[in-house]
Amino acid sequence: MSYDRRSAELALTFSSEVEDARELTFYLPRLSDYAKRCGAVLDELVKAVSSVDLSDSREAEEWANIRDRQLADAIKAKPDLSQYRETPSLALLAFHTRMQLDEAAFLGGLGKSNVGDEIDRIAAVARNLETKTADLEKIWKETVDRDGDFDKQAEETAKEIAKIVDEAIETAAANHRTLLESFAELSKINDKIPEGMKDISDALPGLLGLAVKVLLKGLANSTYFWAKMQERLIEREGKLRETFAKEANLLLVFSETRKEVEEFVKTTNFEQAEAAFEQAEKELDELVGAMKTSGQKDDLGRFRDRVLDALEGVLDAAERRHDEFVTKHRSKFFGPLSSQVTEELIESSRWGSLAREIDSRTLHDRLSDLHSKNLFSVSVGGLRPEVREYIEKEVRSAFDEATKVILEIDRKVTGQPPEKQIEEQRKLLESRLR
Amino acid sequence: MAEPQPLVKPSDDLTTGLTTDRWFDHGLRGRRVTWIAWDSPFRATRLKVGDVILEADGVPCDPARTDLAEEFMVGNFAEGRGLAQAGRKAGEPRRLSVWRDHERFEVEAPIAVENFYYDAEGRRALAPGGPQKLANDGFGSAWSGWDEELTKKLSSVLDQGWRRGSFNSRQVLADLAGHEPRVRHLAEHYAGPYAEAMAADLAAALESVRGTLWPAEGIDLSWRERGERLAEEVRRAAVEAEKEFTAGLGERVIPAAPAPDPVESDPEAFAGKVVHLERVGPRSMKMDAGHPWYYFGDLRSGWWFLDANSPGCQAFHLAVENYRQLVDMSVPLTYRFYAEVLPLPRMMVVDGRVATGLTLALAAAMVADRLFITVPREPGAGGARFAGEELLAEGALDLPPADAAPRAVVEAAISALKLGRRELWRALFADWRLDYHWNGAISYSPISFNSESNFFYAWDFARKSLSKEVYDLRIVGEGPVTTVLAPPEPGAGPTVEECRIEVEHVGRFDDEYRSFRQVGLHRMWPVQRVDGGPWRLAVLQGL
């Protein structure tokens, strides 16, 4: 028998105080049976702690049920003098009375103990940490996957924008070529303009009709192209902005999840499991302290040690789950974010390449470059100065008009320079992770 | 001419014509009379079925006494043999000391002999002249079988019937009424003492199971009418409050489905909007690593999340519980939520899959179309209230004083149940327990072992019964205060006193208020006190 001190103590005291053989025959077996049942109460309770199922949220109830059932059995087994047909001796009465009072401390103390609640608290910490660990893994995967999708979409859109800009530049270059050809045509008719014309403007429409026609046709083509390109760019730009917004929203969700996990960590952590263990230890110590006899104290002391040993197993399980939780999710879902996690979500290197992708092909710069460097680099030598002056004036005016249209489109499309847009997005994402 | 067949042939076996069973109660030990045969000489005495015989001819009828032959005790199967062994003769008086309703009295009747009865044709009969045991006179069963069956049923009514846990008075009434035609047939065709005894026993049993008639004018239904009136007034207030609430929402209402994905849409765009969520209930709630949440939606139409532990939800749940306790326990827990959208996105795992949605704050809720609860944005100490809650302010109750009599404790419990004062009712129960052992011994436990869930179910059952079949409870008896447990010497243990209060439950049958009994309704309400402390209900029972 595991808990035999109280039993031996009762038997010894009884034998030394009660001498009547009939009383011994009547009382001692009942006393022994009662002591056995008290031992069974303690055994069953230790067994209940040893077999705690972390997935069961009703361990405390189960513990209380076992306790109540076993205690009820023990109470029923208490020696009952009313069953004794003889008149009990004073010695028996005195022993019985003292035993009743001492046992009330044992039965009442154990009956009111709340160790089961502490078992539940430890088990709940372990269970919740396990669930949260698995859930957060899924949430992290979902976050990274969706973030990756947005990155891919942004890159594709950037490439599309770059392609459209390339096409624009190519078209502009084609227009230049047309102009160059026009100028070549103008060189050919140079000699046909009469010398010393007073009012060159009268002759020019007729003389230069062909050249101007070609020029205007080129410009008309150019304007049509830019209108179509505008639609394409606006669409792509909208797509990029939308992708950026979604990515920012995703990080907002992540940030809210982090707040919630911070809260979870405050309410569910190993320290709490340890506190529950300490509380159980304190309650068990108090229970032992409340016992009236050394036999009870010895038995309950052993019971306390066994319960705590078993409970340590539950605590270890909680610690393992806590460690796993911390290993997997610290610096990601709680605590300061690690640079690795930040990089995984923001990918600063990507921003550089994305910016370069769009920046290096900025429409504004490239058109300006094209216009300033290339437009009048063609040779118009051979034209008389007044003719050349006239043509230059008209063509520049027409081209300036076209450039204005193009740049207006460019402005409408981007609203702000792409590099600035990208930089702002990067800052927004970083702020969401703060 | 042939000699006429004798209708009665006496045997040599002695009998009192009584049937008895063991009886233990409060240290009182004896034999309880379960039946008195129609031809028993004791029919002519005060003795009744249900009485307890404590002594017979000065010898205790204590079943726990191993020095007495229990089988020879009065009314037991070998009583006749015992009488013969004691040298008793037929016709000698048998004197019984009887206990009934806390009164002890003596009865005396001559010892009889077992008789065999025959009809005019010499066939075995139940009584002189008939009916024949094996005939059935066109009824479904033979007379002997019928007699045995009816006797058993009558015994179960007249022998402590109302005090039996499984007794269903209205069911027994219907059953016994079915025997009236055959008893009339008996009187018409076999008139005599047997027929008269059967008719009288059936009438007595029917009278008993019909229950005490309570004049309608004496039945106070004000508490019930108050409950019904309150429930109706609260319902009306709920309808009005919901109308007013929804009218005030204006353009803020958006459909609950599809729910926006806060990654795909800007959460701020939905902030302050309000969604209706129908058919919400406790099943809509799930645990997220120990934290309860209401989840609405599915993978196709998106998700909304509501923190079930949020101050708003807690206030809502308290208001529902308050209503259940004070007005109607049976209100179904089906809700219609009005929830405000917060610009707080959440990503959670629902049924193993990641779900993304916006968080809600509970603004108001209609419960089962019966109560409407408005939840303040920041519920403070006042919490959430349901429309019409101010109507319930009346009817406050207090715990009876420490020296209140046992009856007052039961009355307080009944009032608390009627008016929905759960805490008061809960406080009226003992926190100790006595265990009654098979041999009559009693042991004391310093704890009652009553779990809160047991209290919950008892209260729930009682409140539901009071809203349905139980119209009133009447105290009809109050036993003496007896010491059921005393220490062997002063101060060596608790002294427990007990008093049993007898309660009848009043139901309504055919426009009459009558006492009735069915499973779950308790007639005896034991009240105890320890060492002269306050009286408390000793047994956890609802009604």
CB-CB contact of B487 with A81 (8 Å): no
Sketch the domain layout of chain B as residue ranges: 8-210, 224-392, 406-537
Q: Which of A92-96, A276-280, A358-362, A391-395 has the lowest mean pLDDT?
A: A358-362
Residue A214 has pLDDT above 60, yes or no: no
pLDDT score for A360: 46
The answer to whether the Cβ–Cβ distance between B446 and A252 falls below 8 Å is no
Phi-psi map region of B345: left, alpha, beta (phi>0 left; psi -120 to 50 alpha): beta
Question: In whole angstroms, what is the distance from residue A279 CA to residue A275 CA?
Answer: 6
pLDDT over 90 percentage in chain A: 21
- What's the whole-number mean pLDDT along residues B377-383? 71
pLDDT tens digits for range A9-44: 999 999 899 888 888 889 999 999 999 999 999 999
Q: pLDDT higher for B469 or B324?
A: B469
Residue A138 has pLDDT above 70, yes or no: yes
* Cα of A92 to nearest chain B Cα, Å: 11
Mutate to test the interface with B, among A253, A258, A332 (most CBs of B within 10 A): A253
pLDDT score for B353: 92
Q: Which residue in chain A has the smallest CA separation from B27?
A: A82
DSSP type of residue B429: B
- What's the whole-number mean pLDDT along residues B203-231? 88
pLDDT tens digits for range A286-317: 999 989 899 999 999 999 999 999 999 889 98
Tokens matching residue A376: 């009048």
Contact residues, chain A, for B265 at CB < 8 Å: 249
A 10 A CB-CB count for A257 gives 21
Closest CA to A428 of A212, A227, A266, A250: A250
pLDDT band at residue A379 under the 50/70/90 scheme = low
The answer to whether the Cβ–Cβ distance between A97 and B493 falls below 8 Å is yes
pLDDT score for A367: 62
Which CATH class name applies to B406-537? alpha beta
Residue A361 has pLDDT above 50, yes or no: no
Residue A198 has pLDDT above 50, yes or no: no
Q: pLDDT higher for B417 or A173?
A: B417
pLDDT tens digits for range B345-355: 999 998 889 99
pLDDT score for A154: 84
Instruction: Report yes or no: B446 at the A interface, CB cutoff 8 Å.
Output: yes
Task: Label the pairing between strands B291-298 and B285-288.
Answer: antiparallel
The answer to whether the Cβ–Cβ distance between B264 and A249 falls below 8 Å is yes
Closest CA to B291 of B304, B306, B280: B306
- What's the whole-number mean pLDDT along residues B276-282? 91
Q: pLDDT higher for B391 or A176?
A: B391
pLDDT band at residue A1 under the 50/70/90 scheme = very low
- What's the whole-number mean pLDDT along residues A411-418? 56
pLDDT score for B25: 74
pLDDT band at residue B373 under the 50/70/90 scheme = very high
A 10 A CB-CB count for A409 gives 20
In the stretch 124-153 of chain A, residues with CB closer than 8 A to chain B read 124, 127-129, 131-132, 134-135, 138-139, 141-143, 146
Q: pLDDT higher for A405 or B6?
A: B6
pLDDT tens digits for range B29-63: 899 999 999 999 999 999 999 999 999 999 999 88
Residue A341 has pLDDT above 50, yes or no: yes
pLDDT score for A396: 63
pLDDT score for A190: 57
Question: In whole angstroms, what is the distance from residue B115 CA to residue B474 CA?
Answer: 45
Residue B513 has pLDDT above 90, yes or no: yes
pLDDT score for B195: 96
The answer to whether the Cβ–Cβ distance between B441 and A83 falls below 8 Å is yes
Q: Is A342 helix (H, G, I), strand (E, B) or coil?
A: helix
Q: Which of A75, A143, A268 shows the shortest C-beta gap to B290?
A: A268
A 10 A CB-CB count for B58 gives 7
DSSP H helices, B32-166, are: 79-85, 143-158
Tokens matching residue B299: 């993978």
pLDDT score for A207: 47
Q: A391-396: long-range contacts at Cβ-Cβ below 8 A with a sequence spacing of 24 or more? A: A391/A183, A391/A186, A391/A208, A391/A211, A394/A212, A395/A179, A395/A215
Contact residues, chain A, for B347 at CB < 8 Å: 139, 142-143, 253-254, 256-257
Question: In whole angstroms, what is the distance from residue B233 CA to residue B226 CA?
Answer: 10
- What's the whole-number mean pLDDT along residues A396-412? 62
Residue A8 has pLDDT above 80, yes or no: yes
pLDDT tens digits for range B381-396: 567 888 888 777 655 5
Give the mean pLDDT of chain B: 90
CATH of B8-210, one of 3.40.605.10, 2.30.42.10, 3.40.50.850, 1.10.645.10: 2.30.42.10
Question: In whole angstroms, what is the distance from residue A89 CA to residue A78 CA?
Answer: 18
The answer to whether the Cβ–Cβ distance between A101 and B291 falls below 8 Å is no
Instruction: Report yes or no: B348 at the A interface, CB cutoff 8 Å.
Output: yes
In the stretch 70-89 of chain A, residues with CB closer than 8 A to chain B read 71-72, 75-76, 78, 80-83, 85, 88
Residue A175 has pLDDT above 80, yes or no: no
Residue B136 has pLDDT above 60, yes or no: yes
Fold match, B8-210 / B406-537: no
pLDDT band at residue B519 under the 50/70/90 scheme = confident
Give the mean pLDDT of chain A: 78
C-alpha atoms less than 13 angstroms from C-alpha of B512 in its C-beta half-sphere: 9
Residue B468 has pLDDT above 70, yes or no: yes
pLDDT score for B109: 97
- What's the whole-number mean pLDDT along residues A261-285? 90
pLDDT score for A219: 57
Residue A402 has pLDDT above 80, yes or no: no
